[in-house]
Structure formats: structure tokens, C-alpha cells
Chain A
């Protein structure tokens, strides 16, 4: 049985192909302005990588903010449900999932089957989302993907006094002008984003084991900052960014099994 999940986010589009409980292939591309095009392109690449044909996919579930625009999906599923399901598949002991995306942050409590029990999310304020990191990377002229490694070299502890992205950007520019090290500034930035995400997560009462998903989890500086903010060890997942697409593909497999019965 071959199923697929397609997750169209604000910044990236993800596709994943599942065959009999194993990941055949996954792809992540930058999302274009047209979600439909992103969906077709990312799925085309995943199918090619898996060395199958589009017709081999028996069922495809779509998720992410652009899920309604995926032309080839059979049914949509919420991001919350997909992230919960994907995380428990990756880490069976996971009960809390903190997902930081490009434009939102979510905290989800799940049971042992990966079903959602409670959740909370923020898409109203850019602080605590990936956009905070993106804006600062841009103004400091640093690659988003390098931020984690650079912050790892931090030696002096700095604290940002502003939570608002707009005010924090000004604060960071003055720290640079004062001659502070970029590594120390980035470390403080990671802590600020993590603190915000952690206070969101506390709203659902964080139960171990906790995992971090979403593209931001690839940044090791963010991962450690979130551990500090939550005051607990977290589990790493191998592929945090495709977690939503994975959950979608698992839902797709459920659908096929449901149809067969």
C-alpha cells in the first residue's frame, strides 16, 4: 500500500510517500506564491525520488495552510492532527509536540495513538514563530540555516528585553553597534523565541516526553533554547520539517484501511 502526505506551509512545501509503514521518500521545497504550483512540484520530486508513478499513490492527504489548493489530494486534514500523528509515529513516547513553523507556533498534547487531546496555537503575533528568526537573519545578513551553528559559539550571555519582533530588531541592531558578538546575540534571540513558544506550550501543560517539530527544530540552538525554556529534556526527531506531511501520509493509510474493511 502506497500513500502520500502533502503539507503546504507558508514558507516551504513538503511531500512524503509511505509504503507499508515505511518512508519511501520525502521532499522539502521553498513555497512559491501559488500553493497549487508548490504542491505539484514537491510531489513530482518526491514521486521521482521514490521511483514510483503518481498513479501508484492510492490515497493522498493534504495539510498545511495551503491544503485546500492541493489539486491531487483525496482529503484534507488539519495541521494539528497531522503533527500529532506524525510525532508519535516518529517518537512513540511523545505526549507533547511543540511545532514552530514559519508563521505560527503550536503546542499539541497527544495520546499514545497520536490522537490530539488538547492544543493551543499562535498565528496572531510573529514573536515565537520562525518569522522572528527570518527577520533577524535578514537584517544581520546571515543564512537561516547557519544560525544554530553560529549561536553554538556563544560565550557571553545576553538577554533581549523586547518580545515584539519589531522592537527586538532595533534592540539587536544596537547590540551589534555596541560591538556585541553575533554568536551571543543569536543565542539571546533563540532564547527569546523559545521563551515565547514555551509560554504558549505551558497553556496545555507540557507532559513528557516532549518533541519539537517544524523547520525551526532543525536549528540546534533553538532546540536547546526550548529545552531550557521548558526546563526539560526533549526528544529529537530525525526529520522535524516533514512531520506534518508524515502525519498526513499516515492518515491516508488509515483511509485506505478503512475503505478496505
Chain B
């Protein structure tokens, strides 16, 4: 859960000052605060600076990263990370992203390409027309050819056409035992997931399609948990085409975090997506999110805040998620007798825009301001929201009266501009500068960043007209960032934990869907934070029993090669725990962690490189960055 009240430093937050604390506890808290403040003045040594830079600006170091940053020079490396467009992206990553087609489609195309199965059936039965697009048409025709209609396709035979539509099933043209030989059948029936995966991958494309179609739906769905990306997409296209979009998103999120050379940009994508959170499971957002992340968030993560604010305000995903697309001037339907359901003002977006996107909850706005902002945004709507239509300004929905937002008068008679003026006011407001700077510092420096740092960043925000790159530069030039107070002060989020373990192990990821599931198990199902807060940056939100156990189990599974789609080569590690820890963390483990592993290794059965690696990744040390 979101929680903002942790004002005490992170350590104190867990030792907890009970209300009505004694004076000794209070002075202890003050002492802790003083000690912490001192640590933010203490500079890290050169080697630790490189590790710290990698800990904070990437999803964790990979083997070789420390050496290459050293060679390039820390300053130059940071400068390059601040200009991701100058970094050549990994060709291997681009190859892996290529099959994830939905990432590159417009919302309209997404709706058309991932039609629900009922539509395929309806086309087969002749009740829906063939798609006009020749490519789509060919694929639908091929799919239909693999089936034969069960019984009379004569729709006229049933009076209740709609009910028949929903229930009608088609039979595969060929049965499974007509497509596969007996050994292959045996493997599909009782083989291990690895064997099944191998078999499916070895089949020629045509035969594969026949096999998938011949399977009952349930059996086919089971392939999702272990099949390769390509085959998984085929299965989903048959079973639940809309789901392809979610799988593509998850797959790409993990692949980029693990393999992108533009690591800071990926960290910032995670930060800003959560800042401007939208929720996958809310209706049309299912097919609106790929375009949202690609067009509104990613191009702006180091750009002007005002641009990102506008891009999100106008994005179909946000207009849908926070309901603004159906907010209309209060008097619009009031007297319209033909409208049974009367529409009106909806405050949802107006409130979250100020509370979460710009000013912050204590940024100095009132309920009256919320209503006034909502009035300014009336008319910012969508064309055919359920069919992937885009932003559309509808003047007839707009409230033309005068509004007063945070003391600024927005004159009567305005149009689409009224909301633009609101965005101007909010994007340049000192509360926004402070709120955004503090949040960035909490993500990149410490849960409780020193005020001195936040002030420097906020000042830069205002003087640079909300230039995020400049704000990041101010942070990265500060002594607080490179201090002992910041070093390893953050607990990794589940996403960071999963990505950093794969990076540290230098694992080979052929598909990342199982990894994305693990991020969910650890408490952070990606794209599925229902509340507009997005996921938290604070340590205390990620440390609890359930999450810790999941982290340990994940560490063991990963190192022992039990996460589908990921291959770890542990042979290079040996089983000297001190060396393994150093290889995976790029620094020595704490004496306590080393002692515990060493003791475990007195038991010969535990003495395998995979076990040792799993223990290191599940250790308290590895949970920090």
C-alpha cells in the first residue's frame, strides 16, 4: 500500500517511535537523524562510486560493467546514460523484441489484430465479413481452414442466432493422433516441460499449427507456462487473442531492463510509468497501454516535464483510466429529455492530476480547485474509446464558464485551451518542482533524501523550465548522491530484484515471461497496479515476510535453472562462497552472510555452485542497491 507518512529516517521507521514516546526515544531519533545527516556529507571512495553509480542508474551491474565504466570514466559513462539516443542499442535485444508485434501497433490496429475467438468463429460461420487487410485475411482464412464446422452451419436453422453464436464450437479438421506419431504423442502426454518445449520448437510451422489446433483448449493453454515466445503467442492467438498484448508488454519490460544498453532510460521508464500510472485490467486500457508507454512515456523520460504531462493528459490510456473522456459540462444533459442517463462532471482526473502528477497532496490546492480543473478538462475526450480511437476535443461537452484555478482566472468562453492553461500553471508551480524532485531523489538516492538535495533539484526544475535531464544532472552532481548516506540505502523493488539477479548471473534469457511472473510473485505485478499512485519507491513497502520468502525461493529457482526461458551457467562460479559472492555482487559479502554460507557448505550435498549462487542472491546483502 501507498504510504506517505514515514517521515522518520528509514531505520527509525522500523524501530518505530510509538505515539507518546519517551524523551529518551525522541533524543535517540534525533541522534539517528544527525548521524544520517553526517553520512550524507561523507564522500564515497572511487571504487565504491563506480559500484554506486551502477547500482542506482542501472538494473544492477553485469559482469564486466565495473571494468568498462572504469575504463570509460564514471563521468563520461553517466553523461552517455543521460543521452540514451547516443548509445547504440543491443542488437540481440532488438532481435528478441521483433516478434512482439503488438508493441509497435496503434490502438486501432491492436483491436483488429487480436480479435476475440468469437469473431473468428463468426467469420467462419459467415456471420461476419472477412477482414479487408490482405495479411489479416490470409491468417484468418488459414485458421478457418484448420477447422471444420461441427454441425450444420445453417444459421437460419436456429431461431436464437445470438445464443447459438456464443455456444457454437468448431472441430479441428485433424485429430492430434493424425498429426503426431506415437513417440511424439507420448512426449506431449507425459514428457517434462523441457521435452515438450523441445518437441514443439522442432516442428515445422505448418505442423505446429495443426498440433495446436488439434489440442483441446485447456491443454493448449497449459503450454503458455513453458513454451517459447513464438509458440506462446500462437497459443494465445487461438485461446485469448487480447492476452497477447499483456504478454508482449511484460516480455518487453523484462527484456529491456535486463539487456538494454540504455539502462538509465529504462530505470526512468519504470519511474515515470508508475508516476503516471495506468491499469491494464481497466477496460480499454488493455489495448491502449502499448501506445501509452511507447508514445507518451518513453520519448519524454529525460525531456521536458510539461511535454510528458501533456502527452499523458491527452493519451487515450489516461483519459480512459481516470474517466475524463466522459466528463461533460454539468448542464449538458440536465435538460435533455431524450437522455435517460444524464452525464456530468467527473472529478477523478482533476484530483489525481494535482495530487499525484504535479503538486502533491500538500501542494496547496482545495476541493474547489479540483472541481475547477475538472471543468477546464471537460471536452477532452476520445473518439470511439472501445475501438481504439484517439484523443478528440469535443467543444459541445466543454464548460465555457469562467474558472479560477489556484488563483489564476481562466476567462469564460475558452475551449480546448482551458486545460492547456491548467497544465501550464501546474507544470511550472513550485510545489510541482519540489514534489517531482523529492520523488526522484527517493528513487535514486534514499527514502529520506536530505532537504538540501531536494532544494537544489527543485531549483533546477524551475530554472530549466522543467527539464528532467537537467534535474537528473543536478542530482548526479550533488555530494549527497555520492555520499555514504546514499550507498546501499535502497532496498530493491521486486522488478529490480529480478532483473538484477539475471544480470548478475549473466543468464541467457530466451523468453522473459516466466521472469515477469516472478516479479508479480514478489509483490509487484507489472502494469497491474490498480491505484493511480503506481508502485512505491520506498523500502518499507517491499520488506515483509511474504515478499522475503518469495525472494529466497526465486533466488534458488533461478540459480538452479528452474525458471523457464532462462539459462544460467553456474560452472564458472566454483564453490568458494567468498568468491561466488564477490562475482555476483562485485564486492565482498558481509561477514555474517559469508559465515552462514560457509557453515552450510560443511554439508557436502549443499556444496554445489548453483546452491551457493542461490544463497548469495537470496541473501540480505543482495536485496540492497
Is chain B found bound to chain A in the same assembly? no
